[in-house]
Structure formats: structure tokens, C-alpha cells
Structure 1
Amino acid sequence: MAAKSGNRCNFWLPKKKRSCSNTRIESSMFCGNHSQRLDGEWIPCPIDPSHSVLQENLEGHVKRCPLLKQTVALSGQLFYQKGINAGNEEEEEEGKMGSCCPDSVVTSEMKRNLLYSMSVSKFHQLIKKIETVHGGICNDIEDSYLSPEACNVWFNKEIDRKLPFQEKHVLQQGSILGNLEKIGALKRCAKNVECCEIDPEEKDDDKNVPAVVEFGAGRGYLTQMLADCYGVKKVYLVERKSYKLKADRSLRQKENLVLERMRIDIEDLNLNAVESLSGVPYVAIGKHLCGPATDLSLRCCLSRQDGESPVLRGLAIATCCHHLCQWKSYISKTLAVTASFFGLSE
């Protein structure tokens, strides 16, 4: 075993067969991640619940939390409206459920415990109900895997830029865009990969080329592919986290392309209040959105429309993690109630 560096953490990582490479805390043999937690009551940070702090340090922490500045700046934005897409407690369908579906978050552990507490007969009854409902809804839904010709520059690896390229992701992204083209929401760009140069005669014709709103955008490579292959004028990347190695730099180099990255939770985004989207047709896209994020995105796009609202031309979302769905934000409560999933009897 190689000798440990004097200022490195001494925590041994069995899977990597080496010690942690982080710098250790001055008064400890370990780094901050591997030091034993101090005794005391740890509570979630009120600004960013993804981390916790000691109760006794809370007052000082909230003044210097890394997300404090971003939270303050966000609260001043017109499109920020806390919980606007979270779901309405007074929805008719939810009222029918009574108190069996509380508004609090139901964790995966709670769901597992509920299943484990079921009798065998009730469990089989639930499975049969799910299969029946799924069969009734999905019989007429066909798989649509497309490889549009417009995306050949990506499929053939002809892109001349240093972007992360993984074939499986490119094929998935191409199919999402191909299905939008199939329904007429996107039109193929007649030019090459640098097709964002708009003809002078079309410069003021925003109706021909829709804007793009990508939910859960991450690094933005789905939008990068769309911009390369279909030619768009406005791009809005919605993501609550901050990522490195983003496609933003490449997108900003395109002439006539306006890019806006909105670091905000989809739950709090009022799309109707985005001034530059007022009255503009747009296409909504998302890749690998979890169940709750998909519901929130649908609520965001399908909110009440008026003459000044953005005009939704098409929507394509590749979902994942359906088991994380929550009743409050669930977009189709009527279906769940009508299907009688709740109150299953022996």
C-alpha cells in the first residue's frame, strides 16, 4: 500500500482500494465527508434542505449558506412563484380522496412499508387493477422510435466541437426530436449543422421557428442537438441545479440564438411571466425527468392561457422514476380515482 500523504484523509475506500484523496480537517485524521458527526440535533437547512446543519449553528449558517445569494436573486424574478405548479389542495379529484392521501411527501420507504403490510390477496388485487388500467389505456399507444434525417450530423458524428458524445444518448435525443417533427411541432432545417443563421426575410417571423423550453435541462445537450439540427431562435433551459461542462458556451456562439438559463425548481416556475416568451410559440422538451418533475412540467405548460401567454406547440418528455410520483402534484388524479386504486377491499 502506498504511503499516505500527510494532509490527506485516512479513510479507506474498499471499492477503490485506496484512501480518500480529500484534504483532511486540521484537527482530524479525516476529511469533512468522513469525519464522525458531532453530537447534537441536525436539522435540514431552511434554504437548501439537501444538506443539514447543527441546530446550534443554524442562525449563523443561514447567513452564509452557498445558496442564499441565488435564492434572494430568484425571489425577485417575475417568473418565480412559490409552489405554483405544486398541485392544488382544493382540486375536485383530491377532495374525493378524503384524508387517505395527505399533502406531505410520501417517501419510498413509506411506500415499501405499505406494500409489505398488504395481505397476499390484496396485493394480487392491486396488481390486477394496475394491469387492467394499463391495458385499457395503452392498447392504442404504439412505440415510436425514430432516427430523423435532420439529426444525421449527430448520428454520423460529424459535429465539429468538443462535446461529450455517447451514442445511446444521441439516439434517444434524436428519437425525441424526430417524434416532435412527426407531429409537426418542429420543422427540419434546410441548412447544415450551423443552421441557426436566419434569412433576413425571416428575421421577424417568430411563428415559423418555435422557441424551446427544456425542463430538467442538466447540461443542455438535448437542446444543443435540437439547435444544431432544427434551427431555433430562443432557448430556455430550466434546471434547479448548477452543472459544469454545460452546452451553454457552444449554444451562445450561435448567431441569432437567444439563450436563457433559469436556475429554478419547476414547481416554482410561472412560464406565463417570462417576458421574452410572451405570446411566443414554443416546444417543451425533457429527457429523463422523474415522475414528479414530469407532473410539474405538465402543470407548468398547461396552466391557464390568455392572449399574452406562450403558445404550446408540442411537448415531448422521456420519463423515468415513476415510483417517485406524489399525489399532490400528480397530473391525472381523475384517472386514479376513476380506476378505484384506493380503498381496495379483500
Structure 2
Amino acid sequence: MEVKNPGVTDRSKRKREKFKAVADGEWTRCMFKLERKARFCNVARVPGSQYCGNHIDLDTGVESNKTKKFKAEMRKRVPCTLDPTHTVYLFDLKKHLVICNKLKDAEAMKQLPYYSLNINSGSSTEKPEEAEETSGKDEENEHSQPTAARQASVFQTLSKMDYNVFAVRLEKAYNELIGSIPTKTLNHEACSKLLTEKQATGAAHGALRHIQQQASILGHMEEKKLLHPSYTYMELGAGRAMLSLALTQLYPASPFILIDRAGTRGKADQYIATESKCTRAKIDIRHLNLSGMQEAVNTPLVCLSKHLCGVATDLSLRALATTLPPNEDKKMSPHLKGFAIALCCHHACNWDDYINPDYFLKMGFTAVEFKLLISLSGWATCGMATEGDAVETVLGWGREKRTTLGRICKRLIDMGRVHYLRDRGMHAELVHYCEQSESLENCLLLAWQPQTSYIQ
């Protein structure tokens, strides 16, 4: 069949075109530069300003007839209290909170038949006074590195403790419980044609590697007998749903369920739904009650994700274990055939929601130490490169040491998830589905039912 792909234009080419337009004075959109994405904001400007509504607070010289009616202190733009990603005038805040899209989305989510407030939130087995420091939900619940402030806080905490002893405890736990994780890069026919076409057009390696990673994830699913046209596929944290799009090349008539809490531009839904039934559920996984989702309970279910961020992995595992019928106490529903989750952003985990806190308690780590451990996990991707490398000067840990400790922390968190699944009757394992040079977040959590068969 013909390969359908909405992401035809090379992203790096689009970025170059934007920067050229800015340099030539032809850029008519917002002038705010998104440093992390290395591009300019693409939202239309507010009339009379060089910025859009989200970034107009940077343009102090813009005043409308409406704003002139208010005192200077009320003309300040402040973050919306419902969604800090955009700002509003202070004098307009009360009115805005009634019509904010964030509120509308929250109300729409509550009306969904599979919404149950906090049904997948966890609870700590630690003493309340010990868990108190870790009870706050992590604000960095996105695909991003730990903030500079958080890294500085980690450095201060380590410098006040016997950090070398703590590192030895982490390394010992890793060696005893994990040892080594195999690296196995696979291919899959679902991605072959698209990869060939991209290579023929001279696509950059950055574009090709994502297709190759998708092929490896699907290859691992094939090995575990998790691919079959009679299954329903649920992509968790779907985003644009490019992994599901790849799978439709193999099973164009299979049902797909796309779970994501946010709206996404450039979605692949329309391409997936040409032959198959595609359902997008805009819901936070924390509130996802699968027993109320008929699309998920009518046929055998397989879940997949690339990448599922931090605490979202734990919430997803709890949803599959406790809300997917039929289920027995301490057993995963036989309706679930298995899943493949490419893991990431462990610094966005938290103690209360972590799926297996007893696993860390048995190793001798407290809730407070778990908070430090998840912060250290960020070192696997950023190495905590402070100016002048103060960490190496004070702690004696070079970048390589910090990166290794970060990966150890990530895999300890992941192995707790593996034990949780094994305790509930599933086979589960960790595998590096691509080389670390291709992706720093290269670990795949695989789970499948014993004696998985295509016979229904």
C-alpha cells in the first residue's frame, strides 16, 4: 500500500527558512525565539506589536485604547493561573479565567465516559512525615531536561551529604538487580518503504533515525507476538501519533486509540483513519478509566508509546492493571496482550505516583532519597554541565561519572516497573532498542502475557 506521511517537509529546512525570513525582514509572525526548539514562535502577531498574545508581555511599548483605561500596575501581563504557558493582562485575568481554553478542555474531559477523577493516582507506603517532602507533583512533566534551578538544588543537597556512599549504594543496587541490559536494534517492514523513500530524497539523519527507532520498537513487538490485525492498538502519550501511523502501513484496518492530554498540531489521525477506526481521547492518563472506554474492551488490546514521559508511565501501568476489565486481584487483565513503552524523562516521576515504591524500600532507599534519585536521573541526558564544572570541582564527579549515575538511576526506576508487572503475572523485560549514540533515551519496557497466541 502507499505510505502516507504528514511530515513530508524536513524540519531543519523549515527552521532555516524561518531564520532567513527573519534576517530578510519578511517574518510576519511572533518574534519570540524558542531557544530549546531553536526557532521562532509561529503564532500571529498582536496588531501593533512584534509579538503574539503569549509573548506580548515582552513588548512594553504596546498599549491599546482599552489598556489605557487602567492604572499602570493593572496593565502588567501575568501568567494565566489555569495555564501558565500563556499570559493575560492583570485587569483582564478574572474575566479570562471564565473563558480560558484550559477550563473548557477540563470541563470537556470530565464529560468523557472514561473519566474518573484521579483514578490512577498512587499512594505512598512510606510514613506520612517522610513522604511529605516528595508529595508535590512535579511541574516538569514534559519532554525536557531538569531546570537549572532543580540541578542547582541537587548539587546543594549532595554537597551536604556523604555523596560517595550514596553513589556506591546506587551502583551496588544496579549490579545486584540489573547487571546489564542488551542492546538490540531491529527492523520492521511497516517502516521499510517510508525509510527508503526518505533516503532517496536525501533526508537528514535526524529525520531517518526516528523512522529507524519506530522500526525497532515494532520489531520488538513482533518478536513478542504483539502484532496482529485482530488487535486494537492504543498509543499512550500519542502526540502526533507517528508510531501508530507507521503501524497502519501493516494493519490499515485495525482500530487505533490515541491517548494524549494536550492538543497537538500536525496530527496523523486523518491518515490513520482512512481505512481503520481511529479514536483520539484528549484526557490526562491520571483520570483514564479503561472500563468506561468501549473502544478498548471490545477486542484484545496492545499498547505502545514513544516516548512516555516520567510519571505518565506509572499512571499508565496502574490504569492497565486496575481499570482494564476483566481483572483479578494482583493480576493483569488477560484482555491485555502486552505493550512496548519507550521510556523517558524519569526526572518527572514522583514518589506518590511511582508504581512500585516497595521495591525501593526493600533496597533501603527512603522516599526522600527517591526524590534525589529521580533528580540524578536527569544527568543521563544533560550531565549537569554547570558553568566552570563546579560539580566536578566540589564532588569530584566528572561528566562521564555523572552520566553513568544518571543512567543507573533511570534503570533502577525502570526495573521497579518490571518487577511490578512480573508480580502481576506478565513477562517483562528491559531492552535498549537502539544505540545510545542514536538516542540517549533508548530503553524499551516490554511486557507480554504468558503463552501469548494469535488464536482468539
1:22-48 C-alpha deviation (Å, 9 max, x unpaired): 63543x676542324974687654543
1:151-190 C-alpha deviation (Å, 9 max, x unpaired): 433443399xxxx993111111111111111111224xxx
Contact kept? 1:218, 1:243, Cα under 8 Å: yes
Alignment of 1:51-90 (within 5 A): 51-53=86-88, 56-88=91-123
Contact kept? 1:278, 1:310, Cα under 8 Å: no
- 2:226 is matched with which residue? 185
Matched, 1:142 2:182: yes
Structure having the higher helix fraction is 2
Amino acid paired to 1:312: L
Match for 1:296 among 308, 312, 315? 315
Deviation at 1:328, TM superposition (A): 1.7
Amino acid paired to 1:176: I
Deviation at 1:264, TM superposition (A): 1.3
Contact kept? 1:44, 1:50, Cα under 8 Å: yes
Change (3 A) 1:46 1:274: farther
Question: Aligned equivalents of 2:103 and 2:259: distance in 1?
Answer: 19
TM-score of the superposition, structure 1-length normalised? 0.75
Match for 1:103 among 118, 129, 135? 135
Change (3 A) 1:295 1:50: farther
Contact kept? 1:279, 1:311, Cα under 8 Å: no
Where does structure 1 lack aligned partners over 5 or more consecutive residues?
Answer: 188-207
Question: Aligned equivalents of 2:60 and 2:171: distance in 1?
Answer: 47
Match for 1:216 among 237, 258, 262? 237
Deviates more, 1:117-126 or 1:292-301: 117-126
Question: Aligned equivalents of 1:225 and 1:271: distance in 2?
Answer: 24
Contact kept? 1:219, 1:244, Cα under 8 Å: yes
- 1:195 is matched with which residue? none
- 1:337 is matched with which residue? 361
Amino acid paired to 2:176: G
Change (3 A) 1:59 1:135: same
- 2:277 is matched with which residue? 258
**Secondary structure class of the residue paired with 1:67:** helix
Where does structure 2 lack aligned partners over 5 or more consecutive residues?
Answer: 1-21, 62-71, 140-145, 328-332, 370-456
Change (3 A) 1:13 1:210: closer
Question: Aligned equivalents of 1:169 and 1:296: distance in 2?
Answer: 25
Matched, 1:317 2:341: yes
Change (3 A) 1:22 1:119: same
Deviation at 1:56, TM superposition (A): 4.3
Contact kept? 1:212, 1:232, Cα under 8 Å: no
1:275-312 C-alpha deviation (Å, 9 max, x unpaired): 22225311111102221222222222222554387821
Change (3 A) 1:64 1:18: closer
Deviation at 1:20, TM superposition (A): 10
Deviation at 1:261, TM superposition (A): 0.5
Question: Aligned equivalents of 2:34 and 2:344: distance in 1?
Answer: 31
Cα RMSD (Å): 3.9
Matched, 1:240 2:261: yes
- 2:214 is matched with which residue? 173
- 2:45 is matched with which residue? 23
**Secondary structure class of the residue paired with 1:313:** strand
Contact kept? 1:4, 1:10, Cα under 8 Å: no
Question: Aligned equivalents of 1:19 and 1:306: distance in 2?
Answer: 44
Contact kept? 2:191, 2:211, Cα under 8 Å: no
Contact kept? 1:8, 1:20, Cα under 8 Å: no
**Secondary structure class of the residue paired with 2:351:** coil
Contact kept? 2:290, 2:324, Cα under 8 Å: no
1:209-237 C-alpha deviation (Å, 9 max, x unpaired): 21111011111110011121245521100
Contact kept? 1:209, 1:231, Cα under 8 Å: no
Contact kept? 1:8, 1:21, Cα under 8 Å: no
Question: Aligned equivalents of 1:231 and 1:18: distance in 2?
Answer: 37
Q: Percent identity?
A: 28
Contact kept? 1:215, 1:237, Cα under 8 Å: yes
Deviation at 1:83, TM superposition (A): 1.9
TM-score of the superposition, structure 2-length normalised? 0.59
Change (3 A) 1:83 1:111: farther
- 1:194 is matched with which residue? none
